[in-house]
Each structure stands twice: as C-alpha cells, then as structure tokens.
Amino acid sequence: MKGISITAFLIIICLPNYSQELRGIVIDENTKRPLTDVSVFFNGTTRGTKTDRNGNFKVLAPENQKLPLAVSAIGYNSLLLTEYPADKSLKILLVPKIYELNEVVIISKRSLWEKSIRNNYLNTFRRQFIGETVNAYTCKIMNESDLVFQYDENRLLLTAYSLRPLIISNKSLGYQITFYLDAFEYSQIPYSLSYTGYYNFREDSTLNSKERVRAENRRRLAFLGSRMHLMRSLWENNLDSAGFTIKNSDNKIITYDSLVVERDSSDKYMGSKRTYNVAYLSKTSRSMMEITKNNVYFNKLGYFDPYGIKWIGEMGKQRVADLLPYDYIKIKH
C-alpha cells in the first residue's frame, strides 16, 4: 500500500487561549546584524508575525501547548525550534543559504522540450504535493516558477525545492498558505513520497460572506476523519464517540491506556514502534498508522511529531489541499 512520511455557529471544541507572548530577536549568524522582515510563526497555524527593522518580534503562543516555532527568511536556511523557553527573550541565528550556480535557471531561455519536461514535473508535483482530493481542484500554487526540479534517471527520483516560499491559494477551504519548502522527493517505482518544510495559514480575505460559509462547511468535512481529528480524539480519550477504531495486526481493538503514555498534564506520547489499522465510521479499516519510533509526541491541538508517523491508505492521501491549521476550531450549525 502507498504511504507518506450557516447563520449561527456553535463552538464545540475549546482550544487554548493565545495569552502568552513570545519575544525575541533574529540575527545573521555571520554578520551578527539583525534581520528585518523574517517570518516567525508557530508551524502549521495561523499565528505568526515578522521581525521589525531591528530584528525584533513578538507573537502570541498557545497556553500550555508545545508547538514548533518556525523562523524563515529568503536567502537563509529555515529554522524550526521544538524546545525553547517561553518566559525568556529568544536570540535566533539564521545561516545564509549557499546556492550552486546550476540552480539558477533563466526561464525565458528554456527550449520547448525543456518547457515540456518541466510541465510534466509540475503536474507530478501538483498531484503529490497538493493532492488529488476534491479540495485540490481549487488549490493553486501562485508562484510555481520558483520551483526547481531535478530528476535522477537511475533512481527514477524527482526532487524539488523552492528558492522562495510557495504561496498557495486554497479557495475550497478559504486559506492562503505560505509554505517554506525545503525538500521534496518522489519515486513512482517503488512508490515513495516525502517532503519537508514549514508553513502557516492566513484567512482568504477575498471571499464574500456566502463563500466563507461554504469554506467553513468544507473545513468541517476536511476535519472529520482526518489525522488531526484522530489525534485530537486520542488526546481527549474519546475515540469511540468520535467514530474512530484503532486495531493491531491481530485485529484487536487498542485502548487509550495501551497506546498513550502520559508524562504530565500537557505532554502525551504514543509509546512504541508498531503499525495500527484505523477505521472511521466503519467496521473496515481504510487507513494505517505506522509509528516509526518510540515515544511520538502529540498534543490536544492535533499536532504530532511528523517524523514519527507514516500514514497509509485514506489518511495517507491527505495532502496540502486538505490541511487545516492546528488552531482550527471545529464548528457546526
């Protein structure tokens, strides 16, 4: 199987208040000068800011929840902080990127053959990165020209990265996503897919009131049965009421106590390396969750260590077009 690493609303999930302010400064590691206009955000959320002309920033942090802090700027290697003191000012050093000469491509001088090959790479990238679900139909990368592709014929491996953050318009869910793509690798034979990077969300301000209502409905549908939904339900220990069933390879139902290790009131982990079958509103499992390392961290927002779980089946098909921010609040009529 394939796998990858409305008139009135009622809020039915309460997420933590963003009451803790995180402060700091971002500087160039080589020159020690402060960096302006650097994006600082909690990865996968709508919460973020940019540094001022003195390199300073402040951003509201989720209370009692650990979320990685991403720091990204054009011309520098992105940085992801998973451990940081929330009560002290941060000093963050960014390292300038070094580009090889062959990474510079003059688009106007491409031959028709080169343009045809690039279009093939783009189509493959869109399918594997954006996805092929209903939400993907209206999800568009606004600056595809910034993508750089390389293809290894011996390994049948397509790789990609972007010189600038990808600006993704998801009209279906009503978000604009800024995605700092560090690496993308795809092989058809044998099938493998992996991509890494950091991203944040912004509400699409171009939607009218009716379009916003439709987007909210689609967000709810995207949430139900998603990886985020599963992780939030597991955190709350309400898999049954949420419609999820997790079974082991012997087809035995896995309980919360046998899967989750609690360190304290805010830290929870999935214990050991194993593969589980996941069913949603069905007796038949359509997804598999492969825990690839011991003690995989997850929290009540639905965030989990992305390097600790491999998804197969229906949940493995969810791509960028189906992403919701971790601070998404599920609502219903």
Q: Please name the fold of domain 10-94.
A: Immunoglobulin-like (2.60.40)
- Is residue 227 very low, low, confident or very high in pLDDT (cuts 50, 70, 90)? very high
Task: Find out whether 168 and 141 touch, Cβ atoms under 8 Å.
Answer: yes
Give the pLDDT mean for 199-211: 95
| Whether the predicted pLDDT of 86 surpasses 50 | yes
Give the pLDDT mean for 215-222: 96
| CA-based nearest residue to 38, from 205, 28, 46 | 28
Contacts of 292 (CB under 8 A, 6+ apart): 5, 273, 307, 308, 309, 310
What pLDDT score was predicted for residue 277?
A: 97
What pLDDT score was predicted for residue 330?
A: 67
What pLDDT score was predicted for residue 10?
A: 30
What pLDDT score was predicted for residue 5?
A: 43
Distance CA 82, CA 85 (A): 10
Q: Model's pTM, two decimal places?
A: 0.86
For 295-323, write each residue's pLDDT tens digit. Answer: 999 999 999 999 999 999 999 999 999 99
What pLDDT score was predicted for residue 194?
A: 92
Distance CA 146, CA 252 (A): 48
- Is residue 272 very low, low, confident or very high in pLDDT (cuts 50, 70, 90)? confident
For 193-202, write each residue's pLDDT tens digit. Answer: 999 889 999 9
Minimum mean pLDDT among 112-121, 197-206, 217-226: which range?
112-121
What pLDDT score was predicted for residue 104?
A: 47
Give the pLDDT mean for 262-268: 80
What pLDDT score was predicted for residue 331?
A: 58
Show the tokens assigned to 109.
């001088």
Q: Where are the beta strands (DSSP E) in 62-206?
A: 69-72, 79-81, 90-94, 139-141, 147-152, 157-162, 166-170, 175-187, 192-203
Phi, psi of 227 (to 5 degrees): -65, -40
The segment(s) of the chain belonging to CATH 2.60.40.1120 are 10-94
CA 124 to each of CA 67, 162, 211, 212: distance values in angstroms, whole numbers, following the listed order: 31, 15, 29, 30
Show the tokens assigned to 23.
């402060």
Find where tokens 């011996």 sit: 154
Distance CA 29, CA 34 (A): 9
Distance CA 138, CA 121 (A): 19
| CA-based nearest residue to 200, from 19, 23, 20, 47 | 47
| Whether the predicted pLDDT of 6 surpasses 70 | no
What pLDDT score was predicted for residue 332?
A: 54
What pLDDT score was predicted for residue 275?
A: 96
